[in-house]
Structure 1
Amino acid sequence: MFPPFACCSDGDHGRDSMRRHQERKLRMLRFWRDGVERQLAAVTAAISTLEQQMQRDESAASN
């Protein structure tokens, strides 16, 4: 009448379900990591640009 729940299924089917869950979790974590890496690259570039501007302004002020 009702489909079997994951906790009540046979061993092989449960392992397959666990494996699919782990693969989905891995894809999600990689997606999050990629987003964080993009944000870090943007912050690093902004810091570098600001440092260059500050150095340029320092050298212009000393002339």
Structure 2
Amino acid sequence: MAEPDWKAALQETVNAWMPGGEVIRLGAFEALLPHIEAAYQRGLQAGRSQAGYATRRKPRKETE
């Protein structure tokens, strides 16, 4: 999911589930955002580090 899309989805979720006024919902969104942005960046980096690698490991040969 592109960054603007997940930010909009997060804002919609906070608005739907957070009681109170707009200021409280905005504060909740702003409190969550740094944590989710960091997780998003870690996911991007992990995806880049796996680029070009096989997704499945070859089965091990049984040794006797």
Instruction: Report the TM range for the smaller structure's normalisation.
Output: 0.3 to 0.5
What is the TM-score with the length of structure 2 in the denominator?
Answer: 0.42
Higher alpha-carbon Rg: 1
